[in-house]
Amino acid sequence: MKTMTNGALSRFNPAQPGAQGMKVVATGLLVVMAAVFFVARAFEQQYPGLSYVKAFAEAAMVGGLADWFAVTALFRHPLGLPIPHTAIIPRNKDRIGEALANFLKENFLIPAVVARRMQRLDVAGAAGRFLQTPAGEGTRIRAGASRLIADVFESLDDERLGGIVKGAISGRLRNMEVSPLLGHALASAINDDRHVPMLEAAIRWTARALDANEQLIRDMVHKKANWVLKLAGLDAKLADAIIDGLRKLTAEMSTDPAHPVRIKIEEALVQLANDLQTKPETRERVEAIKEQLLDNKSVSLWIDALWQRAREAIIKAARNPDAVLAGKLGEILKSMGGTLEKDARIRAAINQFARRAVVGMAASYGSQIVKLVSETIRGWDAQTVTNRLEAAVGRDLQYIRINGTLVGGLVGLILHVIDSL
C-alpha cells in the first residue's frame, strides 16, 4: 500500500522543475541583497545616498531570511537544527491526516450535505452523454477520467474497500424485503406471458430427465413391488405403464397450452405471486430463507468473487475506454446513452436511485471512509510525502520568499526615509 501510494504521489508532481528554478531565484535574490548591503556599507561614507540602498538591502535580507525560515520550517528543521515548532508537516503528518479525514466527513460525507450536492447532479444525463460520445471526441476527458477511476480502484486498500462494498450489499439485502419484489416480478411476468418460455423449458427438462432416469424408475418400481407382482412379471409392465404415462403427459403438456396440468401450474404460480405480496406467512418464510442464504459462507464467497470481478472489470474498462465503446457492446451502450438523455422518467428514476444510494453509503459508511483516509495517510512515509508536497507547492512557496525579500526591503527603505526626514 505504501509503495502504491508513493507511486501515485510521484506522478502528481507537475511543478517540480518550476519549483526548483524558483528556489534558485529566491536564494539568488537573497545573496544579491547581501552583496548590495556590504557594498553599500563599504562606500556609504563616500556616497551618503547609498544609505538608502543599504537600508533597502538590510531589510530585504531580514525579510528574505525570515520567510526562508518560515518556508523551511514547514517541511524540515532549518540548517538541521532541532528548533521547536519546525519540521511541522513530518511531525504532524498523522494529525494532518485526521484533520483531512474530519474535513472530508464534515463537508462531504454528512447525509444532508451529500443529498444537497446530489440534488444538483444529473448523474443519468452525464452517463448518457458519456456513452454517446463517439471515439475520438472528448478523448482527453475520457482518458483523464478513466485514468483517475483506474488509479483510485488500484490504490485503495482492496480488502478494506471490498469489505465496505460487500457490507453495503449484504446490509441492503438484509434491510430489503424481497418477498413483495419477487411477487410483483412474478405477477408481471405472468401478465405479459413471459413465464411461458420458462414453463415450456421446465417441461422439456422434465422429459429429458425422465429419459435419463428410466432405469432408476424401473428399479424403484421393482423394489416397491410385492412378491406376487414380481412372480407374475407384472412389475416390469407397471414400470412401462408409468414411464409411458409420464412421457405422454410431458408431450401433451408441451404441445397443448390449454392442458389441465399446465393450467393448474399457472394457477399455482398466480397464487404464489399473490401470496408473496399479501400473505404474511409466505413473506416470513421467504425472509427466513433470505437470512439463511446471507449467513451461508458460500453466498459470502460468491459476493466476494462478484466484487473482485466487478473491480477488475472496472479497472480494465477504465484503462481502455474506447475499446469498451467499440463493436456491438458500444452500439448497445450508445443506445442506452440516448435513452438516458431523452427519457425524462428513466433519468429521474436513475438520479433518485443514485442520490439515495450515495446518501445511504454516506450515512452507513462515512465513518469507515474517514478511517480509511486517515489510516492510509498514517501509513505513508513521512519524508517521501514531505518531499512530494514541497515539490507540489514549492513554486508558490518560493514566491513567498521573493515577496518577503522585496517587501522587507521596501519597508526598510520607507523607515529609513522617515528617520532621515
- End-to-end C-alpha distance for the chain, whole angstroms: 65
Among 324, 353, 374, where does a domain finish? Answer: 324
Residue 38 lies in a domain: yes
The SS3 call for residue 107 is helix
Kindly state whether residue 413 falls inside one of the protein's structural domains: yes
Q: Is residue 14 part of a domain?
A: yes
pLDDT on residue 35: 93
Do 24 and 96 reside in the same domain of the chain? yes
Both 366 and 308 in one domain: the answer is no
> Are 280 and 403 part of one and the same domain?
no
In the chain, DSSP finds a helix count (H) and a strand count (E) of 21, 0
Same domain, 312 and 386: no
**Contact criterion met (CB below 8 Å) for 364 and 91:** no
| Boundaries of domain holding 198 | 178-324
Q: Do 244 and 364 lie in a common domain? A: no
Residues 270 and 373 in one domain: no
Residue located via cell numbers 427519457: 343
**Assigned domain for 152 exists:** no
Lowest-confidence range among 109-118, 133-142, 240-249, 391-400? 133-142
Q: Is the pLDDT of residue 3 over 50?
A: no
Kind and range of the H or E run holding 117? helix 111-119
Same domain, 209 and 252: yes
- Helix ranges (H only) for 256-343 are 260-278, 280-295, 297-319, 321-324, 327-342
User: Where are the extended beta strands (E) located within 268-337?
Assistant: none
Give pLDDT tens digits for 35-71. Answer: 999 999 899 888 888 899 999 999 999 998 888 888 8
Please tell me the predicted confidence (pLDDT) of residue 353: 81
Residue 324 half-sphere exposure, CB side, CA atoms within 13 Å? 17
Task: Identify whether 148 is part of a domain.
Answer: no
Query: Which amino acid makes up residue 34?
Result: A
Average pLDDT over residues 405-413: 90
> Phi and psi of 246, rounded to 5°?
-65, -40
Minimal CA–CA distance to 310: which of 176, 175, 169? 169
> Is residue 4 one of the residues assigned to a domain?
yes
Residues 182 and 317 in one domain: yes
Q: Is residue 351 part of a domain?
A: yes
Predicted confidence (pLDDT) per residue in 372-403, tens digit: 777 777 777 777 777 777 777 777 788 888 88
Q: Mean pLDDT score of the chain, rounded to an integer? A: 76
Count of structural domains within the chain? 2
| Residue where one domain finishes, among candidates 289, 324, 359 | 324
> How many Å separate Cα 418 from the centre of its chain?
62
CA distances from 415 to 38, 41, 378, 403 (A): 19, 17, 48, 18
- Verify that 307 and 384 share a domain, yes or no: no
CA 106 to centroid of chain Cα atoms? 19
- The reply to whether 313 and 358 lie within a common domain is no
271-298: average pLDDT: 85
In a domain, 164, yes or no: no
How far apart, in whole angstroms, are the C-alpha atoms of residue 227 and residue 224?
Answer: 10
Same domain, 122 and 185: no
Q: Of residues 199 and 9, which shows the higher confidence score?
A: 199
Length of the chain: 421
